[in-house]
Structure 1
Amino acid sequence: MMEGSVQSLGSRIRVNAQLIDAGTGAHLWAERFDKLRADLFDMQDEITARLARMIGIELVAAEGRRAERERPDNMDAMDLAMRGWSIINQPASLDDARRARAQFEAALRLDDGNVDALVGLAESYELERRSFVVSRDVTEQIRAADAATTKALRTAPTNALVHYVRATVLLRMRAPERALRECELAICLDPNLALAHAYAGFMKLVLGRPGETETHVVEAIRLSPRDPQLWHWYFYLGAADLYLGRNDDAVEPLQKAVELHPNHNLNHFFLAAALALVNREVEAAEACAAGLRVDPTFSVAKFRDLAPSNNPGFLARRKRLYDGMRKAGVPEE
């Protein structure tokens, strides 16, 4: 149940909105918007964007909990897909990605055309890739994610989220140009899809155009400033700064990424590189040690070998990261 109020405060307008679970009365989410009267139309757009994303996340989580509570032994495909997405919609770990995948696979056994389960399955593989784990089945994972998103696109060709997830699969297939086009199509279909805006910024980075990343990511943050993926967006900002040689500027967004998701290995290793490159050796060593606690198998060679793009500009700029990681104490092999 959505509740809200509007207050007029001189030249300003304040809108309060909150989402309540009608079944339990639990308070799920709240937001406040303050704008000048002259910016009323901007406020309307901002409210629409934020509510669409956050209500979607909270409703998925609430539906997943309700299904588990009311019919744990009799879930249908949609129930299982919602449970999977409720896991993915948080800063997920490798175990979470695999736990979500099990839900999507169970949903597809009941309904092999369920679009939410198809794109969720592909997204679960993307989360595993983000964990920088080298799977023995990476070729099969890419094939499965490719097949799932291809089928989802045939079923729902105007679904913006499907195009966004398809973009993540195309990057795994080392096709960043096509991935960027999918992001741009997703944004055309839904200009408020913050995920697609942020990923478009990341695609610009892997295509050797890190100077264009910030504009896209800042727009994503504007659209969804409390998004569960916010940690990843700050990571993109910090990474872009590093690729541009703005090492001092990279430190703050990478620290935010670590604070928001301390269990993601690359957050720590990129921060370690940035700190080392600005000669903050003690802090760099601490960030490196934190990263190795999360992922003891990480190395410069592993990171180099898993570069997501063959773009010459991207690869040339990436050498700065290798140097920073080595200086921070990341193992070479």
Structure 2
Amino acid sequence: MIGNPRKERLTAATPMSAELSPDLPLEIAHLLLIDVVGYSKLLVNDQVESLQQLNRIVRSTDCFRAAEAKDKLIRLPTGDGMALLFFESLEQPAHCALEIAQALQNHPEIQVRMGIHSGPINQVPDVNDRVNIAGAGINVAQRVLDCGDVGHILLSKHVADDLGEYRHWQPYLRDLGECEVKHGLRLHLVNLCKDGLGNPQVPEKLKRRKRWKETAPIRPVVSPRWALVAALLLSGCALAISFTIFLRHRAIRSETFGSFTGAIPDKSIAVLPFENLSDDKQNAYFADGVQDEILTNLAKVADLKVISRTSVMQYKNSAERNLRAVGKALGVAHILEGTVQRVGGRVRVSAQLIDARTDGHLWAERYDRDIADVFAIENELAEQIVAKLKSKLSPQEKAAIEEKPTADLAAYDLYTRAKILIERSVFNEPREASLREAVRLLEQTSSRDPSFALAYYELAHAHDQLYWQQYDHTSQRLALADAAIQTLRRLQPDSGEAHLALAKHLYWGYLDYDRARQELAAAERALPNDSDCLLLLGYIDRRQGRWEASLKEMEHARTLDPRNILILKQIGLTHRQLRRYSDVIAVFDRALQLDPNDVAARSYRARVDLEQHAYTKRLHMHVETFLAQNPKAPQQISIDLVDLALFERDPAMAERTLSGLSYRYGTESVAFPQAWCDGRLALLRGDSAAAKVAFTEARKQLERTVREQPNNAAALIALGLVDAALGQKKDAIREGRRAIELFPVSKDAIDGSLFMEYLAAIYATSGKADAAIDQLAATAKIPGSLNYGELRLDPIWDPLRRDPRFDKIVALLAPK
């Protein structure tokens, strides 16, 4: 029992009868215990200040507020900390602990440790007739807490086992083994560390004390006999439910994804870039093609976990070939590396298979063949690897591996170059130029070999990206993607690539999420190691408002492509839509560890302070740092420059930096003409005449798009904003409402909420305060891009600033 705890709600403490009933009611609680390390050594004033600040942090967490709102939380002061008892989900204390750890990064003077357990408790009255807690659950939770050092978030084994049923927790749980605790009892502990939160070190108590061995006498932590019986009954029910869940999700728990302890599956491999030994360095693309084809062949084997190309290519030309470290970073037990040498009409391919856990060589082979036999070499090599790893190879997988992509090596070289350009366009500017060059190369490829199916897969993808990213958002571009997919389906009707290409096309080109999901189901069966399938499924879930499912799919994709910064950015943006800013910070911090120079990740990270607290300092620093390092490329941060000018009400830097340049502004879905920015910046200068000229030009461009594409909701909502700025109120409201009709939030959770926000801005600019307030209030209650900082700072909301109803909406989104 913890001394003098009490149950707090929104009201005062609840009196209870001092008379104990003979049979205390038993409940299962999910407990989070927190204490301040070194509390007794602090001065009294420091003790008080530390606890007050800790209380504020805990009360501000989403988990605390949500549980309290449902009256499903007990909070107990413990002298040097507190205990929180949740009753709905064992994930609640884990999420809450991570939120607290994130917030404490801004308060290094407060050093805490945390312990989590789930078990039976009783609510009993104390001497003051207030709620107190007794039972094995809280006793074990205290033992777990006592084992930790500063920063630790320790879990009891059975909590970790249950969390491990969810694959999004698995990478963050580290088994510490069993340790002796009070009275010679043993306790199995697990360490929770996620995105720099928690303490990854082994606790000092586990270092000092002898760990239990299998031969040691078993003295588990036990509950009183009556509690044990109840707990066993509950465990039996849980076991039956867990078995049902296991049957439904057995693929998720297969060894391909490892256990929650981070164990690396035996049948896992990364194919590192092969070294080009040819004198002609132009043959580097040829070496890349050899490695890519081997990787692609292995990835077709469902019994293997194969790391995606994006992650392994980061080791090209890398001095880091510490294979143990590489294996650990990629989560694989085996690594294939090799060399390629092409001389005239001959090719030599050397490969070696290495156990990344021991650095031991398992197998090596050298192939000296005619250049025309290179695909046969790749097929033989892949089948050798499958055999060495004792993986099952179905007849269909064997046939897929043995199928030649093309007989024309020049066509394959063009294809490889185009594929690399498409991959780079995801991360680097100039994206449009890279995509257009890829299209040119792929058209040459298909001209040389009209039966080269994979070339049409990449060609469709390039056309879809040019369309989706607003570089060429026309029906003609969609038709080009359609044609490439039709050819691919004619050549390989039921291939995984054919299904995946169509799924992408339906998603990006037609926003047909249900049909895209159907195609993905077929694609996944043929492409079991393709992270794009999982990532696209995450996109679809996100668009359809299945936010948690979306995050799970993206985390799953990351196990196959762990160094792909795009996946991390998408996870971060999903948390951003949910306004989980601590998670946004953690994810983008991890992304920047992978690539400190990624401009988008730096921008998103800097914007957290803006969106959560209305602070522009970090964004300003990001802009200044980028311009100092890249003075000739301000277009890459045009959105940051314009937004900073608007939010700080100072257009000088943006106008000076972007003067005479062509740049893009808007979201992924809604692209505004540059003239829209010119108009808004002119308004900041007080130059209404220049603003009208700019808005008129923006209207001309958007009106042309809407005339050609009357159901283009993104163009309609942008036109509505421009018309509102020009004072054409009726047209503006009609256009905004039409966009909402085309894309309600029920159809698209991302664009639907964005269009709701923009419609509120149209109402505000048009002087329709009541409609603007109603629209904003509805938008603030759902996930979306609307945030506290922009409401506080963006001049577009100035017409509402004296309305107390607007203040309430701002307060709703304010940091708590």
Normalised TM-score (structure 2): 0.31
Aligned position for 1:244: 578
Spell out the pairing of 1:258-269 with structure 2 (5 A cutoff): 260=595, 267=601
**Map of 2:164 onto structure 1:** none
- Structure 1 pair 92–293 and aligned structure 2 pair: CA distance change class (3 A): closer
Q: Which amino acid aligns with 1:49?
A: V
Task: Quote how far apart the aligned CAs of 1:178 are.
Answer: 1.6
Q: Does 1:293 align with 2:293?
A: no
The structure, 1 or 2, with the larger RCO (C-alpha pairs under 8 Å, 6+ apart) is: 1
The equivalent residue for 1:34 is none
Matching of residue 302 in structure 1 with residue 766 in structure 2: no
Change (3 A) 1:114 1:169: same
Matching residue of 1:216: 553
Task: Please state whether the residue corresponding to 1:234 is helix, strand or coil.
Answer: helix
1:49 alignment partner in structure 2: 306
Alignment-derived partner of residue 616 in structure 2: 281
Matched letter for residue 213 of structure 1: S
Amino acid at match of 1:299: G
SS of the aligned residue for 1:158 comes to coil
Change (3 A) 1:292 1:241: farther
Residue 453 of structure 2 is aligned to residue 115 of structure 1: yes
Q: For the residues of structure 2 that align with 1:108 and 1:263, how far apart are their CA atoms?
A: 34
Partner-residue secondary structure (3-state), 2:671: helix
Question: 2:513 maps to which residue?
Answer: 176
Whether contact under 8 Å (1:288, 1:329) holds in the other structure is no
Partner of 2:416: 82
Alpha-carbon spacing, 1:225–1:179, altered in 2? closer, same or farther (3 Å): same
- In 1, the alpha carbon distance for the partners of 2:428 and 2:343 equals 21
Q: CA deviation at 1:215?
A: 0.9
Q: Give the one of 565, 578, 581 matched to 1:231.
A: 565
Matches of residues 183-194 of structure 1 in structure 2 within 5 Å?
A: 183-194=520-531
- AA in 1 matched with 2:567: W
Match of 2:483 in 1: 147
- Structure 1, residues 47-103: CA drift from partner, whole Å, max 9, x if none? 6322788779989xx99x999xx99xx963332112211222333541222221111
Q: Does 2:499 correspond to 1:160?
A: no
Q: Which residue of 2 aligns with 1:253?
A: 587
Indicate the SS of the match to 2:416. Answer: helix
Distance in 2, matches of 1:196 and 1:66, equals 38
Using the alignment, how far apart are the partners of 2:529 and 2:465 within structure 1? 22
Whole-angstrom distance in 1 between the partners of 2:524 and 2:444: 30
Deviating more after overlay: 270-279 vs 99-108: 270-279
* CA drift at 1:210: 1.9
Larger radius of gyration, structure 1 or 2?
A: 2
| 2:417–2:441 Cα contact (<8 Å) kept | yes
TM-fit CA distance, 1:119 = 1.0
- From the superposition, tell whether residues 113 and 18 of structure 1 become closer, same or farther in structure 2 (CA, over 3 Å): closer
Q: 2:785 maps to which residue? A: 321
Distance 2:578 2:272 in 1: 41
Q: 1:20 to 1:138 in 2, by over 3 A?
A: closer
Q: In the aligned structure 1, how far is the partner of 2:478 from the partner of 2:619? A: 34
List 4+ stretches of structure 1 deviating above 3 A.
11-23, 25-29, 44-48, 51-59, 89-93, 126-130, 254-265, 267-275, 284-296, 315-320, 322-332
Asked if the contact 2:311–2:562 (Cα under 8 Å) also holds between the matched residues in 1, the reply is: no
Aligned residues: 294
Distance 1:23 1:260, change over 3 A: closer
CA deviation map 1:154-206 (0-9, x unaligned): 32133223322322211222212222222222112222111111111111111
Q: Is the 8 A contact 1:53 1:193 kept in 2?
A: no
Measured in 1, the distance between the counterparts of 2:474 and 2:596 equals 25
- 1:145 deviation in Å? 0.8
Q: Which amino acid aligns with 2:461?
A: E
Asked whether the 8 Å contact 1:205–1:240 carries over to 2, the reply is yes
- Is the 2:467–2:474 contact (alpha carbons within 8 Å) kept by the matching residues of 1? no
Q: Secondary structure at the match of 1:278?
A: helix
Relative distance call for 1:163 and 1:287 in structure 2 (3 A) is farther
What percentage of residue pairs aligned between the two structures are identical? 16
The verdict on how the C-alpha distance between 1:323 and 1:17 changes in structure 2, with shifts beyond 3 A counting, is: closer
Structure 2 CA distance for partners of 1:269 and 1:103, relative to 1, 3 Å: same
Shift of 1:212: 1.1
| Alignment-derived partner of residue 124 in structure 1 | 462
Which residue in the other structure is 2:277 paired with? 24
The structural deviation recorded for 1:244 is 1.9
Quote the Cα distance in structure 2 between the aligned partners of 1:179 and 1:276: 35
Q: Indicate if the aligned counterparts of 1:210 and 1:243 stay in contact, CA closer than 8 A.
A: no
CA RMSD, Structure 1 to Structure 2 (Å): 4.5
| Structure holding more strand per residue | 2
Query: In structure 2, do the counterparts of structure 1 residues 217 and 55 end up closer, same or farther at CA, with 3 Å as the change threshold?
Result: same
The Cα of 1:213 is off from its aligned counterpart by 1.1
Higher mean C-alpha displacement, 141-150 vs 16-25: 16-25
Kindly indicate which of the two structures has a greater share of residues assigned to helix. Answer: 1
Distance 1:21 1:281, change over 3 A: closer
The question of whether the paired residues in 2 share the 8 Å contact of 1:273 and 1:325 is answered with no
Q: Distance in 1 between matches of 2:275 and 2:611?
A: 52
Q: CA deviation at 1:245?
A: 2.5
SS in 1 for 2:579: coil
Question: How far, CA to CA, are the matches of 1:144 and 1:66 in structure 2?
Answer: 38
Deviation at 1:253, TM superposition (A): 2.4
The answer (yes or no) to whether the contact 1:201–1:214 under 8 Å persists in 2 is yes
Distance change in 2, residues 1:312/1:140 (3 Å):
same
Tell me which amino acid in the other structure corresponds to 2:306: A
| Letter paired with 1:235 | K
Is the CA contact (8 Å cut-off) linking 2:273 and 2:312 kept in structure 1? Answer: no
Distance 1:331 1:209 in 2: 33
Matches of 1:271 and 1:66, distance apart in 2: 48
